[in-house]
Amino acid sequence: MADKSFNAFEMAQAQFDRVAGLLDLDEATRQLLRYNLREYHVSIPVRMDDGSHKVFRGFRVQHNDARGPAKGGIRFHPMETIDTVRALAMWMTWKCAVVDIPLGGGKGGVICDPHHLSMREQEQVCRGWVRQLSKNMGPLTDVPAPDVMTSAQHMLWMLDEFETIRGEKLPGFITGKPVGMGGSLGRTEATGFGVVFTIREALKELNIPPSETTASVQGFGNVAQYAIDLYQQIWGKVVCVSCWDQTDQTSYSFRKKNGIDLAELRGITDRFGGIDKAKAKELGYEILPGEAWLEQDVDILIPAALENQITAANVKKIGDRVKIIAEGANGPTSPEADAAIAKRKIFMIPDLLANAGGVTCSYFEQVQCNMNYFWEKDEVLGKLDVKMTSAFAAVSELAKKRGIYMRDAAYVIAVGRVARACKDRGWV
């Protein structure tokens, strides 16, 4: 969002154009899918704590709903732009389609910085956003969720406003709610565990036992920690993690060659996923520069922090031993780096597949809310494993059959499913 020269929507459209070529889509289908079906721009007046009034700008974009209600998060960010939201909505359509859940793609945003708003003011922004959009959203049309700088509490305020307007209980309107208030068990683990379900399947294909592998991870937040948790449960060894240091305003890597201790590192990590350097040193970790995570002599790399982290400038630093890259983050690999990785025949598990565990579990949350019956955590994670494993199998089989890169195969499946749904409905 911060880099003005980078337009996420142009990148998303360029990716789509490439896949449209591979699928040989007709012109009408291309015209339909390279733009969003609907987008709403709203103004949200809020009375601030000091008595003044402020107007916040917000958006909701519904990229495509041919396969089911639009689904996607709402972010609060001071630099939010409509083009970022448009791109993210399109990516949600493909992500839901690749894991074959009956949902389309949407995304929302409000230009604001929650750090500078009181809880009451944030609540007013949430309620105001829903008041402006309640006619255009709902459990059967468009279902929001948390995203950058929005939490379970924000979701609950939004749900409360929506139910007040509609005059009925509709917990399927929004996901990411607190457990006990319609949230699903297993959502916290879902994205990280989903990443490892796909790694496990890739290792099976490569005929490598997980216990003989090592990994290096960028990030130590929600996705990274749960990915490490499950990877260690299948006997993999993580030797390096990295994170952002708020005080120094730079990133560091933390290495222990005989394997990091997850519980120990969690114990010295703040809620933003920042590890305490001094304490890590005391515990015997080597403190290395931020980019060191990429240069480790490991079998698996898991970028799980930010977008645009493996680039033309550093892709050559990836060691010869690396066999798998599993993209926990959204868009961590630049197109140039991606081409170099494809050329080296590293097994890429692309973001839209690798990190789809989160949205899959959000779909489970909606299903449970609609039934008003909630599953145990093991049941949620078991169903997640089934979904992720079959999505992986479909993508990998197509990649082998057509001799194409895993990312292309994932896009071909996703875009193909959405195009088919549009055709079957008679839209194009």
Indicate whether 244 belongs to the interface with ligand NAD (CB under 6 A). Answer: yes
Of residues 172, 221, 236, 350, which one binds ligand NAD by CB under 6 A? 221
Output the smallest distance, CB 121 to ligand NAD, in A.
Answer: 22
Indicate whether 124 belongs to the interface with ligand NAD (CB under 6 A). Answer: no
Q: With beta carbons less than 8 A apart as the criterion, state whether 80 and 1 touch.
A: yes
Residue at shortest CB range from ligand NAD? 221
Indicate whether 311 belongs to the interface with ligand NAD (CB under 6 A). Answer: no
Q: How many residues bind ligand NAD (CB under 6 A)?
A: 23
Output the smallest distance, CB 149 to ligand NAD, in A.
Answer: 10
Indicate whether 220 belongs to the interface with ligand NAD (CB under 6 A). Answer: yes
Indicate whether 243 belongs to the interface with ligand NAD (CB under 6 A). Answer: yes
Site for ligand NAD in 32-71 (CB under 6 A): none
The active-site residue, picked from 95, 107, 256, 387, is: 107
Indicate whether 304 belongs to the interface with ligand NAD (CB under 6 A). Answer: yes
Told to judge if 107 belongs to the known catalytic residues of this protein, a careful annotator would answer: yes
Indicate whether 329 belongs to the interface with ligand NAD (CB under 6 A). Answer: yes
Of residues 69, 114, 171, 273, which one binds ligand NAD by CB under 6 A? 273
Indicate whether 230 belongs to the interface with ligand NAD (CB under 6 A). Answer: no
Structure tokens at 384: 């997640």
Number of C-beta neighbours around residue 233 at 10 A: 11
Task: Lay out the sheet containing 142-146: strands in order across.
Answer: 38-47, 53-64, 104-111, 70-77, 142-146
Indicate whether 152 belongs to the interface with ligand NAD (CB under 6 A). Answer: no
Output the smallest distance, CB 161 to ligand NAD, in A.
Answer: 24
Q: Which of 333, 335, 331, 289 is nearest to 310 (CA)?
A: 333
Of 42-50, 238-246, 316-324, 394-402, the window that binds ligand NAD (rule: CB under 6 A) is: 238-246
Q: What is the 3-state secondary structure (H, E, C) of the chain?
A: CCCCCCCHHHHHHHHHHHHHHHHCCCHHHHHHHCCCCEEEEEEEEEECCCCCEEEEEEEEEEEECCCCCEEEEEEEECCCCHHHHHHHHHHHHHHHHHCCCCCEEEEEEEECCHHHCCHHHHHHHHHHHHHHHHHHCECCCEEEEECCCCCHHHHHHHHHHHHHHHCCCCHHHCCCCCECCCECCCHHHHHHHHHHHHHHHHHHHHCCCHHHCEEEEECCCHHHHHHHHHHHHCCCEEEEEEEEECCCCEEEEEECCCCCCHHHHHCCECCCCCECHHHHHHCCCEEEEHHHHHHCCCCEEEECCCCCCECCCCHHHCCCCCCEEECCCCCCECHHHHHHHHHCCCEEECHHHHCCHHHHHHHHHHHHHHHCCCCCHHHHHHHHHHHHHHHHHHHHHHHHHHCCCHHHHHHHHHHHHHHHHHHHCCCC
1/236 Cα distance (integer angstroms): 35
HSE, CB side, 13 Å, CA atoms: give it for residue 56.
29
Indicate whether 330 belongs to the interface with ligand NAD (CB under 6 A). Answer: yes
Site for ligand NAD in 79-98 (CB under 6 A): none
Q: Which is nearer to ligand NAD, 341 or 419 (CB)?
A: 341
Indicate whether 334 belongs to the interface with ligand NAD (CB under 6 A). Answer: no
Indicate whether 419 belongs to the interface with ligand NAD (CB under 6 A). Answer: no
Indicate whether 306 belongs to the interface with ligand NAD (CB under 6 A). Answer: yes
Indicate whether 305 belongs to the interface with ligand NAD (CB under 6 A). Answer: yes
Output the smallest distance, CB 217 to ligand NAD, in A.
Answer: 9
Q: Which is nearer to ligand NAD, 75 or 127 (CB)?
A: 75
Of residues 124, 358, 375, 408, which one binds ligand NAD by CB under 6 A? 358
81: left (phi over 0), alpha (psi -120 to 50) or beta: beta
Of residues 355, 360, 366, 396, which one binds ligand NAD by CB under 6 A? 355
Of residues 122, 124, 251, 368, which one binds ligand NAD by CB under 6 A? 251
Of 161-169, 217-225, 311-319, 378-386, the window that binds ligand NAD (rule: CB under 6 A) is: 217-225
Q: Which is nearer to ligand NAD, 15 or 218 (CB)?
A: 218
Output the smallest distance, CB 326 to ligand NAD, in A.
Answer: 12
Output the smallest distance, CB 367 to ligand NAD, in A.
Answer: 18
Indicate whether 223 belongs to the interface with ligand NAD (CB under 6 A). Answer: yes
Q: What is the 3-state secondary structure (H, E, C) of 161-175?
A: HHHHHHCCCCHHHCC
Of residues 290, 369, 384, 421, which one binds ligand NAD by CB under 6 A? 290
Q: Catalytic residues, which ones?
A: 107
Give the footprint of ligand NAD on this chain (CB under 6 A): 191, 218-224, 242-244, 251, 273-274, 290, 304-306, 328-330, 355, 358
